Amino acid sequence: MRDDIQDEYPPLLRMMGMVAIAVAVVILVFFAIGYVFGRLFL
């Protein structure tokens, strides 16, 4: 329906999206590690 909009995405926007996802995953991983350490040692 709106294929013309999807074709206009520049590579930079896709790269920024992938970086945002990577940052979110890293934050979640560190949060999980902190939670596990907190449960084990506190």
Domain containing residue 11: 3-41
Domain count, the chain: 1
Q: What is the pLDDT of residue 20?
A: 97
Q: pLDDT per residue over 2-41, tens digit each?
A: 555 566 667 888 899 999 999 999 999 999 999 999 999 8
Please state the pTM of the whole predicted model: 0.59
Instruction: For residue 10, report the phi and psi dihedrals to the nearest 5 degrees.
Output: -75, 155
Angular region, 9: left φ>0, alpha ψ -120 to 50, beta rest: beta
